[in-house]
Protein backbone atom coordinates (compact mmCIF):
# COMPACT_ATOMS: atom_id res chain seq x y z
CA UNK A 1 0.00 0.00 0.00
CA UNK A 2 1.47 3.35 -1.04
CA UNK A 3 1.18 5.87 1.78
CA UNK A 4 0.55 9.56 1.18
CA UNK A 5 3.26 12.06 2.10
CA UNK A 6 1.13 13.19 5.06
CA UNK A 7 0.70 9.62 6.30
CA UNK A 8 4.45 9.06 6.02
CA UNK A 9 5.04 12.06 8.25
CA UNK A 10 2.53 10.83 10.81
CA UNK A 11 3.75 7.24 10.79
CA UNK A 12 7.37 8.34 11.14
CA UNK A 13 6.49 10.53 14.12
CA UNK A 14 4.30 7.89 15.81
CA UNK A 15 6.81 5.07 15.39
CA UNK A 16 9.62 7.27 16.70
CA UNK A 17 7.55 8.08 19.81
CA UNK A 18 6.68 4.38 20.01
CA UNK A 19 10.37 3.43 20.11
CA UNK A 20 10.90 5.84 22.97
CA UNK A 21 7.96 4.29 24.87
CA UNK A 22 9.25 0.76 24.19
CA UNK A 23 12.66 1.58 25.65
CA UNK A 24 11.01 2.92 28.79
CA UNK A 25 8.52 0.06 28.95
CA UNK A 26 11.42 -2.40 28.98
CA UNK A 27 13.01 -0.52 31.88
CA UNK A 28 9.84 -0.63 33.92
CA UNK A 29 10.09 -4.14 35.25
CA UNK A 30 12.92 -3.14 37.57
CA UNK A 31 10.83 -0.30 38.98
CA UNK A 32 7.66 -2.32 39.63
CA UNK A 33 9.22 -3.92 42.67
CA UNK A 34 10.88 -0.80 44.04
CA UNK A 35 9.23 1.00 46.93
CA UNK A 36 8.97 4.30 45.06
CA UNK A 37 7.19 2.57 42.20
CA UNK A 38 7.23 3.55 38.54
CA UNK A 39 4.90 6.63 38.70
CA UNK A 40 7.41 9.43 38.08
CA UNK A 41 9.28 7.36 35.55
CA UNK A 42 6.08 6.83 33.54
CA UNK A 43 5.27 10.56 33.63
CA UNK A 44 8.71 11.20 32.16
CA UNK A 45 8.18 8.52 29.49
CA UNK A 46 4.90 10.19 28.56
CA UNK A 47 6.45 13.66 28.29
CA UNK A 48 9.41 12.33 26.31
CA UNK A 49 7.11 10.63 23.79
CA UNK A 50 5.06 13.81 23.42
CA UNK A 51 8.19 15.87 22.77
CA UNK A 52 9.36 13.35 20.18
CA UNK A 53 6.02 13.64 18.38
CA UNK A 54 5.93 17.41 18.57
CA UNK A 55 9.50 17.84 17.29
CA UNK A 56 9.00 15.40 14.40
CA UNK A 57 5.68 16.98 13.35
CA UNK A 58 6.97 20.54 13.68
CA UNK A 59 9.95 19.69 11.53
CA UNK A 60 7.90 18.07 8.77
CA UNK A 61 4.94 20.50 8.86
CA UNK A 62 6.07 23.77 10.46
CA UNK A 63 3.43 26.13 11.79
CA UNK A 64 0.55 23.75 12.47
CA UNK A 65 -1.36 24.17 15.73
CA UNK A 66 -1.32 21.52 18.45
CA UNK A 67 -3.68 20.09 21.04
CA UNK A 68 -1.66 17.79 23.30
CA UNK A 69 -2.69 15.93 26.40
CA UNK A 70 0.40 16.96 28.33
CA UNK A 71 1.41 20.25 26.67
CA UNK A 72 -2.08 21.65 26.14
CA UNK A 73 -3.10 23.87 23.26
CA UNK A 74 -0.70 25.76 20.98
CA UNK A 75 -2.73 27.89 18.60
CA UNK A 76 -0.52 29.15 15.80
CA UNK A 77 -3.45 30.40 13.72
CA UNK A 78 -3.01 27.56 11.20
CA UNK A 79 -5.97 25.80 9.51
CA UNK A 80 -4.30 22.55 10.57
CA UNK A 81 -4.16 21.16 14.09
CA UNK A 82 -2.45 18.04 15.44
CA UNK A 83 -4.29 16.27 18.26
CA UNK A 84 -1.90 14.16 20.31
CA UNK A 85 -2.04 11.60 23.06
CA UNK A 86 1.54 10.35 23.37
CA UNK A 87 0.57 7.47 25.63
CA UNK A 88 -3.02 6.24 25.76
CA UNK A 89 -3.34 3.43 28.27
CA UNK A 90 -1.05 4.93 30.91
CA UNK A 91 -2.34 2.71 33.69
CA UNK A 92 -1.62 -0.39 31.59
CA UNK A 93 1.88 0.91 30.81
CA UNK A 94 2.48 1.67 34.48
CA UNK A 95 1.58 -1.92 35.34
CA UNK A 96 3.73 -3.42 32.56
CA UNK A 97 0.68 -4.42 30.51
CA UNK A 98 1.54 -4.04 26.83
CA UNK A 99 -1.84 -2.58 25.82
CA UNK A 100 -1.13 1.07 25.16
CA UNK A 101 -0.70 3.28 22.12
CA UNK A 102 0.45 6.53 20.62
CA UNK A 103 -2.58 8.36 19.21
CA UNK A 104 -2.15 11.13 16.67
CA UNK A 105 -4.74 12.90 14.51
CA UNK A 106 -4.78 15.83 12.13
CA UNK A 107 -7.66 18.27 11.72
CA UNK A 108 -8.09 20.68 8.84
CA UNK A 109 -10.53 23.53 9.53
CA UNK A 110 -11.96 21.49 12.39
CA UNK A 111 -12.50 18.33 10.30
CA UNK A 112 -10.54 15.16 11.03
CA UNK A 113 -8.47 14.28 7.98
CA UNK A 114 -5.96 11.68 9.22
CA UNK A 115 -5.29 9.46 12.21
CA UNK A 116 -2.63 7.06 13.43
CA UNK A 117 -2.81 4.74 16.42
CA UNK A 118 0.33 2.76 17.11
CA UNK A 119 0.84 0.06 19.70
CA UNK A 120 4.62 -0.33 19.83
CA UNK A 121 4.44 -3.47 21.99
CA UNK A 122 2.51 -5.43 19.34
CA UNK A 123 3.89 -3.34 16.45
CA UNK A 124 0.35 -2.83 15.21
CA UNK A 125 -0.03 0.35 13.23
CA UNK A 126 -3.57 1.58 12.56
CA UNK A 127 -3.92 4.37 10.02
CA UNK A 128 -6.79 6.24 8.40
CA UNK A 129 -7.18 9.11 6.01
CA UNK A 130 -10.47 10.77 5.19
CA UNK A 131 -11.94 9.21 2.07
CA UNK A 132 -9.09 6.70 1.73
CA UNK A 133 -10.06 4.00 4.21
CA UNK A 134 -8.56 2.57 7.39
CA UNK A 135 -5.70 0.09 7.59
CA UNK A 136 -3.93 -2.17 10.05
CA UNK A 137 -0.36 -2.24 8.79
CA UNK A 138 -1.14 -2.93 5.09
CA UNK A 139 -4.54 -4.58 5.55
CA UNK A 140 -7.73 -2.67 4.81
CA UNK A 141 -10.12 -2.58 7.78
CA UNK A 142 -13.88 -3.09 7.99
CA UNK A 143 -16.00 -2.96 11.12
CA UNK A 144 -17.56 -6.28 12.17
CA UNK A 145 -20.79 -7.18 10.36
CA UNK A 146 -22.63 -8.78 13.31
CA UNK A 147 -26.09 -7.37 13.93
CA UNK A 148 -27.30 -9.65 16.75
CA UNK A 149 -26.37 -7.79 19.92
CA UNK A 150 -26.28 -11.01 21.94
CA UNK A 151 -23.32 -12.19 19.79
CA UNK A 152 -21.36 -8.99 20.25
CA UNK A 153 -18.27 -8.27 22.32
CA UNK A 154 -18.34 -4.65 23.40
CA UNK A 155 -15.50 -2.57 24.81
CA UNK A 156 -15.92 0.07 27.45
CA UNK A 157 -14.09 1.90 30.20
CA UNK A 158 -14.72 1.50 33.89
CA UNK A 159 -14.18 4.84 35.60
CA UNK A 160 -11.45 4.52 38.24
CA UNK A 161 -11.04 6.18 41.60
CA UNK A 162 -10.22 9.66 40.33
CA UNK A 163 -13.27 9.74 38.03
CA UNK A 164 -16.84 10.76 38.71
CA UNK A 165 -20.07 9.22 37.48
CA UNK A 166 -19.48 5.72 38.82
CA UNK A 167 -23.22 5.26 39.34
CA UNK A 168 -24.04 6.18 35.74
CA UNK A 169 -21.35 3.83 34.42
CA UNK A 170 -22.78 0.98 36.50
CA UNK A 171 -26.32 1.78 35.31
CA UNK A 172 -25.20 1.64 31.67
CA UNK A 173 -23.22 -1.56 32.20
CA UNK A 174 -26.13 -3.21 33.97
CA UNK A 175 -28.42 -2.38 31.04
CA UNK A 176 -25.95 -3.69 28.49
CA UNK A 177 -24.38 -6.71 30.19
CA UNK A 178 -27.56 -8.78 29.97
CA UNK A 179 -27.85 -8.07 26.24
CA UNK A 180 -24.33 -8.78 24.90
CA UNK A 181 -21.85 -11.67 24.67
CA UNK A 182 -19.25 -9.79 26.70
CA UNK A 183 -18.00 -6.43 27.89
CA UNK A 184 -14.26 -5.71 27.95
CA UNK A 185 -12.51 -2.85 29.73
CA UNK A 186 -9.07 -2.65 28.14
CA UNK A 187 -7.73 0.65 29.47
CA UNK A 188 -7.03 2.30 26.12
CA UNK A 189 -9.77 4.33 24.43
CA UNK A 190 -7.66 4.78 21.29
CA UNK A 191 -7.07 1.05 20.91
CA UNK A 192 -10.73 0.30 21.65
CA UNK A 193 -11.72 2.45 18.69
CA UNK A 194 -8.98 0.95 16.50
CA UNK A 195 -10.24 -2.52 17.47
CA UNK A 196 -13.81 -1.57 16.51
CA UNK A 197 -12.44 -0.44 13.13
CA UNK A 198 -10.65 -3.80 12.82
CA UNK A 199 -13.78 -5.81 13.71
CA UNK A 200 -12.17 -7.14 16.89
CA UNK A 201 -14.79 -5.42 19.01
CA UNK A 202 -18.35 -5.09 17.74
CA UNK A 203 -18.92 -1.88 19.65
CA UNK A 204 -17.51 0.53 22.20
CA UNK A 205 -18.89 3.12 24.54
CA UNK A 206 -17.33 5.25 27.23
CA UNK A 207 -17.77 8.58 29.01
CA UNK A 208 -15.43 11.29 30.27
CA UNK A 209 -13.05 11.10 27.32
CA UNK A 210 -11.00 13.91 25.82
CA UNK A 211 -10.40 14.82 22.16
CA UNK A 212 -6.87 13.36 22.28
CA UNK A 213 -8.22 9.98 23.48
CA UNK A 214 -10.59 9.64 20.54
CA UNK A 215 -9.70 11.89 17.58
CA UNK A 216 -7.64 9.35 15.59
CA UNK A 217 -10.00 6.50 16.52
CA UNK A 218 -13.13 8.33 15.39
CA UNK A 219 -11.80 8.72 11.89
CA UNK A 220 -10.59 5.12 11.90
CA UNK A 221 -14.02 3.71 12.74
CA UNK A 222 -15.73 5.89 10.13
CA UNK A 223 -13.21 4.99 7.44
CA UNK A 224 -13.78 1.32 8.28
CA UNK A 225 -17.49 1.80 7.56
CA UNK A 226 -18.62 2.23 11.17
CA UNK A 227 -20.66 4.80 13.05
CA UNK A 228 -19.38 6.94 15.93
CA UNK A 229 -21.32 9.57 17.84
CA UNK A 230 -22.49 10.84 21.19
CA UNK A 231 -25.19 8.39 22.32
CA UNK A 232 -27.50 11.42 22.53
CA UNK A 233 -28.10 12.58 18.93
CA UNK A 234 -28.49 16.18 20.13
CA UNK A 235 -25.08 16.30 21.87
CA UNK A 236 -21.51 16.52 20.57
CA UNK A 237 -18.79 14.03 21.55
CA UNK A 238 -16.10 16.66 22.05
CA UNK A 239 -18.40 18.65 24.36
CA UNK A 240 -19.58 15.78 26.56
CA UNK A 241 -16.73 13.27 26.24
CA UNK A 242 -19.23 10.45 25.61
CA UNK A 243 -18.61 8.13 22.69
CA UNK A 244 -20.47 5.24 21.10
CA UNK A 245 -19.10 3.24 18.14
CA UNK A 246 -20.08 0.20 16.11
CA UNK A 247 -21.58 -0.76 12.79
CA UNK A 248 -24.82 1.00 11.92
CA UNK A 249 -27.05 -1.66 13.47
CA UNK A 250 -25.08 -2.17 16.69
CA UNK A 251 -24.60 1.58 17.10
CA UNK A 252 -28.37 2.04 16.81
CA UNK A 253 -29.22 -0.78 19.23
CA UNK A 254 -26.70 0.39 21.81
CA UNK A 255 -27.85 3.97 21.48
CA UNK A 256 -31.36 2.95 22.38
CA UNK A 257 -30.09 1.20 25.54
CA UNK A 258 -27.70 3.99 26.55
CA UNK A 259 -30.40 6.63 26.19
CA UNK A 260 -32.70 5.03 28.74
CA UNK A 261 -33.68 7.65 31.30
CA UNK A 262 -31.44 7.72 34.35
CA UNK A 263 -33.05 6.89 37.70
CA UNK A 264 -33.79 9.99 39.79
CA UNK A 265 -30.96 9.19 42.24
CA UNK A 266 -28.36 9.39 39.44
CA UNK A 267 -29.58 12.61 37.82
CA UNK A 268 -27.22 14.73 39.96
CA UNK A 269 -24.15 12.79 38.67
CA UNK A 270 -24.98 13.79 35.12
CA UNK A 271 -23.98 17.43 35.49
C1 LIG B 1 -7.15 6.95 29.35
C2 LIG B 1 -7.46 5.72 28.54
C3 LIG B 1 -8.54 4.90 29.21
C4 LIG B 1 -9.78 5.69 29.47
C5 LIG B 1 -9.46 6.95 30.23
C6 LIG B 1 -8.38 7.77 29.51
P7 LIG B 1 -4.66 7.90 29.33
O8 LIG B 1 -6.17 7.75 28.72
O9 LIG B 1 -7.89 6.04 27.25
O10 LIG B 1 -8.92 3.81 28.41
O11 LIG B 1 -10.68 4.90 30.20
O12 LIG B 1 -10.63 7.72 30.35
O13 LIG B 1 -8.08 8.92 30.25
O14 LIG B 1 -4.78 8.63 30.64
O15 LIG B 1 -4.10 6.55 29.48
O16 LIG B 1 -3.99 8.73 28.28
CA1 LIG C 1 -5.72 9.04 26.73
CA1 LIG D 1 -2.21 9.90 27.77
Q: Which residues of the chain have pLDDT under 70?
A: 32-36, 163, 271
Half-sphere exposure of residue 176: CA atoms within 13 angstroms, side-chain side:
31
Residue 129 maps to which CATH number?
Answer: 3.30.540.10
If one counts the domains in the chain, the total is 2
State residue 177's pLDDT score.
Answer: 95
Closest ligand 1 atom to 87 CA:
16
Q: Are residues 23 and 109 in the same domain?
A: yes
State residue 39's pLDDT score.
Answer: 82
Q: Are residues 15 and 121 in the same domain?
A: yes
Answer yes or no: is the C-beta of 129 below 6 A from any ligand 1 atom: no
Check: CB of residue 94 under 8 Å from CB of residue 24.
no
Q: Are residues 109 and 223 in the same domain?
A: no
Of all protein residues, the one whose alpha carbon is nearest to atom 12 of ligand 1 is 209
Answer yes or no: is the C-beta of 211 below 6 A from any ligand 1 atom: no
For ligand 1, the distance from its centroid to the CA atom of residue 89, given in whole angstroms, is 5
Q: Are residues 100 and 226 in the same domain?
A: no
pLDDT per position as a tens digit, 133-172: 999 999 999 999 999 999 999 999 998 877 678 989 999 9
Answer yes or no: is the C-beta of 88 below 6 A from any ligand 1 atom: yes
Answer yes or no: is the C-beta of 115 below 6 A from any ligand 1 atom: no
State residue 35's pLDDT score.
Answer: 66
State residue 32's pLDDT score.
Answer: 66
Compute the 3-state secondary structure of the chain and give helix, strand, coil in percent, each to the nearest 5: 40, 25, 35
For ligand 1, the distance from its centroid to the CA atom of residue 88, given in whole angstroms, is 6
Q: Are residues 18 and 123 in the same domain?
A: yes
Q: Are residues 108 and 228 in the same domain?
A: no
CA dihedral 171, 173, 174, 178 (to 10 degrees): 150
Amino acid sequence: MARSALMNVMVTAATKAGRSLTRDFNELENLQVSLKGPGDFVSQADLKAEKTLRDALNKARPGYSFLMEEGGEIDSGSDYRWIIDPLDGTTNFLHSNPFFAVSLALEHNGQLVAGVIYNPASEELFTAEKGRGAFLNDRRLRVAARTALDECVIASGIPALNRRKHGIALFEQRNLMSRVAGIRATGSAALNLAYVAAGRFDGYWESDLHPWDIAAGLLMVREAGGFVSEPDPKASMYDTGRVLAGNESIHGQMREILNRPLPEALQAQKA
